């Protein structure tokens, strides 16, 4: 996402994934953040279609894995299947965070 004020990247992956980005927790849940370069308050207005397609595909992957989980436990063992589940969830979290950052449209927020 590009900051409309300074035309630089408004936030990085680690800042987007693991911090409140310079706003209160309540404001962060509402979609507000501050630009990491110029400090202007921004609001996420919408997400592009690619993010919604990813969410649908991720839902299908998780649902199909959960559906087949009990079939594969006897074959591979519970520990292996649990590790695969953790890997899938972690990978989806990373991809979701990258997608949210890449496919979001931000505008300057009114104070």
Phi, psi dihedral angles at 32 (to 5 degrees)? -90, 150
Domain ranges of the chain: 13-108
**pTM (2 decimals)?**
0.67
The kind and range of the H/E element at 2 are: none
> In 57-97, where do the E strands start and end?
none
- Residue 95 has which token pair? 């991809």
- List pLDDT tens digits, range 7-58: 888 887 777 778 878 888 888 888 888 888 898 999 988 888 988 899 999 9
Burial state string for 46-64 with b = 16 or more CB within 10 A and e = fewer than 16: ebeeebeebeeebeeeeee
């Amino acid at each position: 996402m590009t900051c409309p004020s300074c035309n630089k990247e408004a936030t990085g992956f680690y800042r987007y994934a693991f911090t409140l980005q310079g706003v209160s927790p309540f404001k962060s849940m509402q979609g507000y953040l501050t630009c990491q370069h110029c400090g202007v308050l921004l609001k996420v207005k919408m997400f592009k279609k690619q993010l919604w397609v990813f969410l649908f595909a991720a839902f299908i992957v998780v649902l199909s894995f959960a559906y087949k989980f009990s079939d594969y436990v006897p074959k591979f063992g519970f520990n292996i299947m649990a590790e695969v589940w953790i890997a899938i969830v972690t990978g989806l979290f990373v991809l979701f965070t990258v997608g949210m950052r890449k496919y979001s449209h931000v505008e300057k927020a009114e104070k």
